[in-house]
C-alpha cells in the first residue's frame, strides 16, 4: 500500500466516525513568552493541540469540535546519531485522531484495532501478528486494567489466541511531553513484520527480544490523557480526559510495503535511488536523504540557515548532509535532482513545497556552497596537522572552531590515514571553551559573538581587529571602540568619532584592510601578566576587569612589530589570508556607516 493511500484511508476512516479533518500545523512552533517548555519545532503529532487537550475549545467556524484527525509534520533531532538505521529519521509524519473530552479508552482501542486490521477501510494487517503493551502502574497511576480488559475482549471476539498483552513500565507505556501538561498511560500496538513467531502468541521474553531485534515493531499508540503534570509532578486528574492516538507514517509504510527499513519505503526510496551508484556507505546515503528531506520541509515553513535556534538546526542538517557525501560536496545539479524528487513524493499532500521549490533550491545551494568552501580550508589544515602522526584534542577542536570541520569528519579523515583522534581531549577543549564563553572572560566583544564555532564568525572576529586598527590609521587615535556584534553574515563595529566618515576615509579603511589580508600575516596569541600586557600597547577596554593573566591576539610575526594587537579571548583564524576565502577572491567591504548616538558611529561590513 502506497503512503498516499495510507494517509487517505486514515483520514477517511476517522471522518466517517465523526472527526473533523484539520491540516498539519507548521513544523515551526509559535514563539510564546514565558513558556519554559517551548520547543523550536513540533516534535509530536499532539504538540499543536496541547491547549485543547487541556480543555480549551477547538472551534471550526461556529462549530465546536470534540473529535479531530490529522497528519502532522514533525521534526526531532535528539536521536541525530541514530538517523540512518532502520527506523530513525529527523522529519516524519504522525497520523493522529483526537478526542477532546469526548470518547475515551473503549472507542479509541476498538477503532485502532479496526483501522489496523480492516481490509475494506483500513490497513488490512493480520490480527494474529498483533501484540499489545499496557501500563503496569507506578506511584503516579495504577495498573491500566481497563485497557487490558478491552484488548482481551477484542481478541476473544475475533478468535485470536495466545498471550498478546504485556504490562510494561512507565518508560514504555506512560506518555508526557516535558514537565508540564497533559499526561497518562498508553497502550501500544506492535506487529510481527516478518511473521517470525507464527502468530500463535509469545512469552514476555520473546516479545522483548522481538522488539529489541526489530522483528516486532510498534505501529500504533493510544495515549489516554487522564492526568496533568506541573513542574515534573503529577498534580491530579484532568476534568475532561482526552485521547491522543496515532502512528508514524514511515513505520506503517515500512510494515505495509514489506521492507525492513523506512528508507526502502516509497517516502524515501526515490531519493535513495539517486545515490545508487555512489560509493558511500549505506548509512551515509540514508543520512543525506533524511537530512535533505527535513531541510526541504523546514525551508518551506520559513526557516533559513543561521547560527541560532531553528536556523542553526537547519544549518546543521545541511552541513551533515554535505559531510556525508563522498566528495564533501553538494553541487547545484545534485540539489536540483534531490529537491525535485522530494517534492514529487509529497506534492499532493503538501502543495506548498511545489510553490516554494525555487526558494528551497536557492537556500540549499547557497548554504551547501558556503560550507563546501569552509571544508576546503579545513581539509588543508587537517593535512598539515596530520603530518604530526596523531590528532590531539586541541587540534581537533581547532579544526572545528576555526575551520568548521565537525568532529565526525575529522575522525573519518583520520581513520583513512590510520591516525587516532584524542576524543577525550577534544571534549575537554569544548568544555573549556563553553566555560570561557559563559564567563565572558577577557572578551572585549561583550556578547558580540553570535556563534564562535562558526568559521565565518571567526573570520569576522579577526576582520574586526583589522578594521579597528585601520580606523586608527585613517581617523587617528581618538577612535575608541564602543561595542561590536558579529554574525556569520557580517560584522558590526561601534566606535567613538565626532563626524560622519567621508567616502574617501571609508575607501582608505577598506584598502588598508584588504592590503593586510593580501599580505597573509599570521595571527598569534600570547598570554602574559596584565601589567606586562598593558605595556605592549595592546588595545583593550579601559575600566574592564581582567584577570591577573590576559590573552593578547596579534597580527604579525611578533608582538613588537605586529600590525594589530588586542586583549581578546579569541577565537581567530590562523592567518588573515583566510579572510579572502578559499579561492582568495573575497574583499572586505563597508556596507554602511552611520550614527548610533552622540559622538558614536557604527560600521557594518562584509567579506564577499
pLDDT in tens, 145-202: 999 999 999 999 999 999 999 999 998 999 886 677 788 999 999 999 888 898 889 9
Q: What is the mean pLDDT of the chain?
A: 88
Do 82 and 148 belong together in one domain? yes
Q: In what helix (H) or strand (E) does residue 219 lie, and over which residues does it extend? A: strand 216-230
Would you state the pLDDT for residue 38? 57
Same domain, 281 and 254: no
In a shared domain, residues 306 and 241: no
Whole-number Å distance between alpha carbons of 464 and 450: 14
How many Å separate Cα 105 from the centre of its chain? 35
Numbers of helices and strands, H then E, in the chain: 19, 18
| Residue at 375 is within a domain | no
Does residue 436 lie within any of the structural domains? no
- Given a cut of 90, whether residue 478 has pLDDT beyond it is no
Structural domain count, the chain: 3
More reliable by pLDDT, 180 or 402: 180
Looking at residue 520, which CATH number applies to its domain?
Answer: 3.30.980.10
Answer whether residue 278 is part of any domain. Answer: yes
Whether 94 maps to a domain, the answer reads yes
**Where is pLDDT greater, at 510 or 86?**
510
Q: What is the band of 442 on the pLDDT scale with cuts at 50, 70, 90? A: very low
Q: Is residue 414 part of a domain?
A: no
Residue 253 sits in a domain whose CATH number is: 3.30.930.10
Note whether 441 and 547 are within 8 A (CB).
Answer: yes
516 and 580 housed in the same domain: yes
The whole-number pLDDT of residue 543 equals 43
Give the model confidence (pLDDT) of 242-293 as tens digits. 999 989 999 999 999 999 899 999 999 999 999 999 888 999 999 999 999 9
Residues 172 and 319 reside in one and the same domain: no
Task: Give the position of cell 578559499.
Answer: 582
Q: Which of 264, 279, 303 is the last residue of a domain?
A: 264
Q: Tell me what pLDDT residue 547 has.
A: 65
In a domain, 69, yes or no: yes
What is the 8-class DSSP label of residue 211?
Answer: H
304 and 223 both lie in a single domain = no
What pLDDT, on the 0 to 100 scale, is given for residue 452? Answer: 61
323 and 180 belong to one structural domain: no
Q: Give dist(CA 541, CA 396) in Å, integer.
A: 32
Show which of 337, 367, 397 is a domain's final residue. Answer: 367
In this prediction, what percent of the chain has a pLDDT beyond 70? Answer: 93
pLDDT at 54: 75
Peptide bond into 571 cis (omega under 30): yes
Specify the pLDDT at position 489. 85
Residues 144 and 182 in one domain: yes
Dump pLDDT digits (tens) for 288-336: 999 999 999 999 999 998 767 788 899 889 989 998 898 888 989 999 9
Does residue 173 share a domain with residue 196? Answer: yes
pLDDT for residue 551 is more than 50: yes
Residue 293 and residue 212 share a domain: no
pLDDT band per the 50, 70, 90 thresholds, residue 90: very high
d(CA 345, CA 3): 9
Residues 145, 178: one domain? yes
The model carries a pTM of: 0.69
Mark whether 60 and 170 lie in a shared domain: yes
Residue 293: what pLDDT? 98
At 229 the pLDDT is 85
Contact 100, 52 (CB under 8 A): yes
Sign of CA dihedral 580, 586, 587, 593: negative
The residue from 264, 293, 322 where one domain ends is: 264
Judge whether 433 lies within some domain: no
State the chain's maximal CA–CA distance in angstroms: 93
User: Is residue 385 situated within a structural domain?
Assistant: no
Q: Which domain holds residue 555?
A: 455-607
- The span from the CA of 278 to the CA of 273, in Å, is 10
**Whether residue 109 has pLDDT greater than 70:** yes
Query: pLDDT tens digit string along 583-598?
Result: 788 999 999 999 887 7
343 pLDDT above the threshold of 60: yes
C-alpha–C-alpha distance, residues 328 and 410, integer Å: 12
Mean pLDDT, rounded, for 513-523: 92
Amino acid at each position: 500500500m502506497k503512503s498516499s493511500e495510507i494517509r487517505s484511508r486514515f483520514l477517511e476512516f476517522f471522518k466517517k466516525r465523526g472527526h473533523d479533518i484539520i491540516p498539519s500545523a507548521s513544523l515551526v512552533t509559535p514563539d510564546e513568552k514565558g513558556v519554559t517548555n517551548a520547543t523550536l519545532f513540533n516534535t509530536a503529532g499532539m504538540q499543536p493541540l496541547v491547549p485543547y487537550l487541556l480543555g480549551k475549545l477547538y472551534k471550526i467556524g461556529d462549530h465546536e469540535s470534540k473529535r479531530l484527525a490529522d497528519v502532522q509534520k514533525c521534526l526531532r533531532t535528539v536521536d541525530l546519531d541514530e538517523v540512518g538505521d532502520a527506523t530513525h529519521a529527523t522529519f516524519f509524519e504522525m497520523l493522529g485522531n483526537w478526542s477532546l473530552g469526548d470518547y475515551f479508552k473503549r472507542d479509541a482501542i476498538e477503532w485502532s484495532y479496526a483501522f489496523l486490521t480492516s481490509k475494506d477501510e483500513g490497513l488490512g494487517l493480520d490480527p494474529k501478528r498483533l501484540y499489545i503493551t499496557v501500563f503496569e502502574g507506578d506511584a503516579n497511576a495504577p495498573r491500566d486494567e481497563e485497557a487490558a480488559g478491552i484488548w482481551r475482549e477484542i481478541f476473544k471476539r475475533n478468535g485470536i489466541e495466545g498471550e498478546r498483552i504485556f504490562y510494561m513500565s512507565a518508560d514504555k507505556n506512560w506518555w508526557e511531553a516535558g514537565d508540564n501538561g497533559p499526561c497518562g498511560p498508553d497502550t501500544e500496538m506492535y506487529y510481527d513484520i516478518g511473521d517470525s513467531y507464527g502468530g500463535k502468541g509469545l512469552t514476555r521474553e520473546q516479545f522483548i527480544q522481538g522488539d529489541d531485534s526489530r522483528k516486532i515493531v510498534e505501529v500504533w499508540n493510544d495515549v489516554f490523557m487522564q492526568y496533568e503534570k506541573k513542574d515534573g509532578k503529577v498534580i491530579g486528574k484532568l476534568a475532561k480526559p482526552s485521547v491522543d492516538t496515532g502512528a508514524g507514517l514511515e513505520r506503517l509504510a515500512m510494515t505495509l510495503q514489506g521492507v525492513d527499513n523506512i528508507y526502502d519505503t516509497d517516502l524515501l526510496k526515490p531519493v535513495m535511488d539517486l545515490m545508487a551508484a555512489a560509493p558511500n556507505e549505506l548509512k551515509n546515503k540514508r543520512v543525506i536523504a533524511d537530512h535533505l528531506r527535513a531541510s526541504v520541509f523546514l525551508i518551506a515553513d520559513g526557516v533559513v540557515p543561521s547560527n541560532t535556534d531553528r536556523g542553526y538546526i537547519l544549518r546543521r542538517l545541511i552541513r551533515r548532509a554535505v559531510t556525508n557525501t563522498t566528495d564533501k560536496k553538494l553541487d547545484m545539479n545534485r540539489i536540483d535532482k534531490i529537491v525535485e524528487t522530494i517534492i514529487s513524493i509529497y506534492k499532493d499532500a503538501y502543495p506548498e513545497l511545489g510553490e516554494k521549490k525555487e526558494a528551497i533550491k536557492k537556500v540549499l545551494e547557497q548554504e551547501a556552497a558556503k560550507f563546501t568552501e569552509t571544508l576546503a580550508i579545513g581539509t588543508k589544515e587537517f593535512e598539515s596537522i596530520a603530518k604530526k602522526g596523531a590528532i590531539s584534542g586541541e587540534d581537533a577542536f581547532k579544526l572545528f572552531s576555526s575551520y568548521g570541520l565537525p568532529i565526525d569528519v575529522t575522525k573519518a579523515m583520520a581513520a583513512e590515514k590510520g591516525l587516532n583522534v584524542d576524543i577525550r581531549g577534544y571534549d575537554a577543549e569544548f568544555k573549556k571553551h563553553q566555560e570561557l564563553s559563559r564567563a565572558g572572560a577577557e572578551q572585549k566583544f561583550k556578547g558580540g559573538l553570535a556563534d564562535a564555532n562558526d568559521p565565518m564568525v571567526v573570520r569576522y572576529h579577526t576582520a574586526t581587529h583589522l578594521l579597528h586598527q585601520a580606523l586608527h590609521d585613517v581617523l587617528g587615535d581618538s577612535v575608541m571602540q564602543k561595542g561590536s556584534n558579529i554574525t556569520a553574515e557580517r560584522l558590526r563595529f561601534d566606535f567613538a568619532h565626532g563626524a560622519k566618515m567621508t567616502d574617501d576615509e571609508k575607501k582608505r579603511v577598506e584598502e588598508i584592510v584588504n592590503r593586510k589580508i593580501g599580505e597573509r600575516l599570521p595571527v598569534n596569541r600570547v598570554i602574559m601578566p596584565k601589567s606586562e600586557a598593558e605595556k605592549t600597547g595592546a588595545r583593550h577596554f579601559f575600566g574592564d576587569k581582567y584577570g591577573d593573566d590576559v590573552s593578547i591576539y596579534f597580527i604579525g610575526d611578533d608582538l613588537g612589530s605586529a600590525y594589530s594587537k588586542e586583549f581578546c579571548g579569541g577565537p581567530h583564524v590562523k592567518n588573515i589570508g583566510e579572510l579572502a576565502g578559499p579561492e582568495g577572491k573575497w574583499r572586505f567591504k563597508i556596507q554602511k556607516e552611520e550614527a548610533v548616538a552622540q559622538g558614536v558611529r557604527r560600521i557594518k561590513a562584509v567579506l564577499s
